[in-house]
């Protein structure tokens, strides 16, 4: 039996109160379609609640030198988790379609890095940041997220902890029942097509 994170109920309550969960027909950042979408940016509108959840997440990791997140969802989150851990934070962003560190961010060989992301579905952005950090010589200590909507199916090759797991079906566009019903689609994520 799959273990539910001990923070699940608290996280679900906070996200519900803040109107983070949306239902409809969505094209996710991964390109897959879903009937549910978590707009975690709504969480980060509320500093007290986002600091509380990021602090809860930070308690799952130790011996961290650096927290990194992919833009855009991981920027504020990396800051809050790093603040809770008392370490520095950086973020990766896309340049010519590939994740990179800009703005003078550096990583020293041997630094112990934690990667955080607001919502994990396929884990694609996190995996790109992992590879980017490894190329700089960092040691990856783990991955943390507010919500894991992968159904427990994503693996990063390092410890992964989420505050909440959300079961949500996703489909490739060709298999999407909402497309077959001609339901209007929304692309709420940050990555441009």
Residue by residue, pLDDT tens for the chain (193 residues) are 345 566 788 998 999 899 998 889 999 877 889 998 888 889 999 999 999 999 999 999 999 999 999 988 899 999 999 999 999 999 999 989 888 899 989 999 999 999 999 989 889 999 999 999 999 999 999 999 999 988 788 999 999 999 998 877 889 999 999 999 999 998 876 555 4
Question: What is the residue whose two structure tokens read 């060989």?
Answer: 109
Task: Extract the tokens encoding 175.
Answer: 């298999």
Q: Which residue has the tokens 């505050």?
A: 163
Distance separating alpha carbons of residues 100 and 94, to the nearest angstrom:
6
Residue 103 to residue 50: CA distance in whole angstroms:
25
CATH number of 8-180: 3.40.50.2020
Please report, for the chain, the start and end positions of each structural domain, with discontinuous segments joined by +.
8-180
Residue 74: phi and psi, rounded to 5, are -95, -5
């Amino acid at each position: 039996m799959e273990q539910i994170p001990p923070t699940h109920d608290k996280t679900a309550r906070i996200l519900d109160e803040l109107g983070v969960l949306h239902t409809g027909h969505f094209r996710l950042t991964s390109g897959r379609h879903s009937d549910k979408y978590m707009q975690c940016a709504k969480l980060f509108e509320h500093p007290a609640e986002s600091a509380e959840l990021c602090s809860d997440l930070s308690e799952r990791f130790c011996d961290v030198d650096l927290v990194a997140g992919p833009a855009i969802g991981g920027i504020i989150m990396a800051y809050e988790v790093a603040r809770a851990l008392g370490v520095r934070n950086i973020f990766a962003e896309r340049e010519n379609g590939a994740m990179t560190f800009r703005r003078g961010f550096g990583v020293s060989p041997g630094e112990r890095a934690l990667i955080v992301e607001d919502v994990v579905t396929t884990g694609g952005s996190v995996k790109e940041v992992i590879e980017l950090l490894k190329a700089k010589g960092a040691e990856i200590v783990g991955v943390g997220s507010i919500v894991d909507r992968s159904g427990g199916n994503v693996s990063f090759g390092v410890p992964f902890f989420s505050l909440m797991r959300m079961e949500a079906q996703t489909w490739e566009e060709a298999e999407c029942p909402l497309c077959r019903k001609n339901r209007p689609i929304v692309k709420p994520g940050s990555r441009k097509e």
